[in-house]
């Protein structure tokens, strides 16, 4: 009869404290990572802006709002136009133009904060999406509010 292999042998008494130590370290590390993930998720959820609770005004866009948007983008876009599109109950604002800045990096540094801080708050009460058609740049549409079901 052959002797049992080392894999089948019972653990030696002198190895038990070391194995317990590694088990405690591993479980502590897993608990720490889980706690950090929960904190990160909660802080990200708190940082999300609150969804607007007022209904969308699907009436005509006030001329003052349209002019304010065009005035805000005029220093940065040539031939700026703001168009309104209706698609299945979803109102989309489409901003077209050509950037005045020669480099995309310069234009992005100015235009992205402008969209987030000025254009989106002004257009949010009147529609759901703000999209862009800016020459030589590919901006994704910005969702102003949750889409209707």
What are the tens digits of pLDDT across the range 58-75? 788 899 999 999 999 999
Collapsed DSSP state (helix, strand, coil) of residue 93: strand
Tens digit of each residue's pLDDT (9 = 90 or more) over 3-13: 666 677 777 77
Residues 28, 71 within the same domain:
no
The total of structural domains in the chain comes to 2
| Phi, psi dihedral angles at 15 (to 5 degrees) | -90, -15
* Distance, CA of 28 to CA of 20 (rounded, Å): 12
The answer to whether position 54 is within a domain reads no
Residue 114 pLDDT exceeds 60 = yes
Return the structure tokens found at 142: 């910005």
Neighbours of 31 (CB within 10 A): 10
Cβ pair 95, 133 in contact under 8 A: yes
Does residue 134 lie within any of the structural domains?
yes
Instruction: Look up the domain containing 69 and give its range.
Output: 63-143
> Which residue is listed with tokens 């901003």?
95
Is-contact 142 129, C-beta < 8 A?
yes
The structure tokens listed for 24 are: 């405690």
pLDDT band at 48 (very low <50, low <70, confident <90, very high): low
């Amino acid at each position: 009869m052959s002797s049992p292999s080392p894999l089948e042998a019972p653990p030696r008494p002198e190895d038990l404290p070391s194995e317990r130590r590694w088990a405690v370290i591993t479980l502590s590390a897993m608990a720490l990572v889980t706690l950090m993930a929960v904190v990160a998720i909660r802080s990200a959820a708190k940082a999300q802006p609150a969804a607007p609770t007022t209904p969308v005004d699907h009436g005509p866009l006030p001329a003052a709002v349209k002019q304010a948007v065009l005035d805000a983008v005029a220093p940065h876009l040539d031939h700026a136009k703001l168009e309104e599109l209706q698609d299945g109950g979803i109102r989309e604002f489409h901003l077209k133009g050509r950037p005045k800045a020669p480099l995309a990096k310069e234009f992005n540094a100015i235009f992205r904060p402008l969209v987030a801080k000025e254009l989106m708050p002004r257009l949010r009460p009147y529609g759901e999406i703000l999209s862009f058609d800016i020459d030589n740049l590919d901006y994704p549409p910005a969702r102003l509010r949750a889409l209707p079901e």
